[in-house]
Amino acid sequence: MAITALAEALDELVAADPACLADAESVEELQRQLSRLEAVVARATSAFDERGDWAADGARNAVAWVATRCRIPKSHARRRLRLGRRVASLPLCQQAWLNGEVSGSHVELITAVSREATAEALERDQALLVGHARTLRFDLFARALRYWASLADPDGVEVDHDASRARRDVYLESSFQGMWLGRITLDPVAGAIVAGELERLELAHFDADRAEAAERLGRDPGPYELARTPGQRRADALVEMATRSRTAPADGQRPVPLFSVFVGYETLHGRICELAQGMAVSPGSLVPWIERAEIERAVFRPVGRVEVSAKARLFTGATRRAIELRDRECTHPYCDRPAYRCEADHILPYSLGGPTTQENGRLLCGYHNRLRNARPPPD
């Protein structure tokens, strides 16, 4: 029986020394097979629901039966059943999942944009979307899919924004132990404003922790040698935001919220635009901010323009800002550190005559910049 053979193969893997599976090829292959198994489980759960065998035990539905018998959260059982049902109408997507070429997370995103208004476009472009899912990093695929959905259902873009804004919510309540528990739900623009300030203050706390640890240890500290965890620094940053709000003078000038919006051809036609953090948003979502915002205009042409001397040692001013807007994150393929945590680096090293221009600049986080400069320069 197929399940017996699967169990025997898993027994062999469980008994194997993890070191024998620790190479890059094995880890990648294990993830692929895990995706295939997830696809099989989703399809089987959907078929089980259709057969109705769960009713014999008095369960109200298949989700209740699976959650009880398999001792998993109902949300997990519900997700499997939902994906098993929806992916059946997307044969190319289903086959890619069964082949382990995409994951359940990819399938969940694709099926989420499947609705009456996008049905025809999805049938036409299914191969295109699956191809992007196979090749793009997950967050980049999600961004591309949002653009596709905006083109497939232009009217739905504004409706989706209104619905997401209506879901905004903040929950903060004291527990019986005196700890405060909370949750925040914000639309993309409001979230970018709050997250940007929270990250700015958290980075200041990180610099302070790093300086304190370096003085205490007499060397550069590791991440786990700092006084606070990232979560603790974010919590302290949130308190700092509240403290500054409370102590701000009554006649003080209200700061202008900072968020960057990328406007392309489609935006000019009323379709969609993108925040610097990568979230695709509707043009209508920006309207409430127009009177409160300061406009920063950056135009990228086929040939870049040098805003400062090409002989300057460091990227500064408009040149650095242009690189930040263009790259938005660390350009190393295995990194997604945001621009504000990156350094502007010369592609052709400055020591070899590389000019300080947009074309010869790129963003690298501190780790990958040091890693790159520790290696021999390119020919």
Same domain, 104 and 141: yes
Per-residue model confidence (pLDDT) at position 109:
94
- Who contacts 223 (Cβ-Cβ below 8 Å, separation ≥6)? none
**Number of domains present in the structure of the chain:** 4
- Closest among 341, 189, 314 to 261, alpha carbons compared: 189
Same domain, 356 and 308: yes
Same domain, 266 and 319: no
Same domain, 140 and 236: no
CA distance 190 to 167: 12
Per-residue model confidence (pLDDT) at position 281:
72
Same domain, 239 and 309: no
Same domain, 28 and 148: yes
Q: Give the sign of the dihedral formed by CA 60, CA 65, CA 71, CA 72.
A: negative
Within a 10 A sphere around the Cβ of 145, how many other Cβ atoms?
A: 20
Is residue 333 within 8 Å of 372, Cβ to Cβ?
A: no
Same domain, 103 and 213: no
Per-residue model confidence (pLDDT) at position 306:
46
pLDDT, averaged in runs of 10, over the chain (379 residues): 89 92 93 96 96 92 94 94 94 96 95 88 94 93 86 72 78 84 86 86 91 92 89 92 83 69 58 67 72 66 54 75 86 87 88 86 89 66
Same domain, 213 and 236: yes
| Structural domain that includes position 307 | 298-379
Same domain, 32 and 113: yes
Same domain, 315 and 211: no
Half-sphere exposure of 211 toward its Cβ, with a 13 Å CA cutoff? Answer: 6
Per-residue model confidence (pLDDT) at position 265:
54
The answer to pTM > 0.85 is no
pLDDT digits 0-9 by tens, 221-239: 988 899 999 899 999 999 9
Same domain, 41 and 130: yes
Half-sphere exposure of 25 toward its Cβ, with a 13 Å CA cutoff? Answer: 1
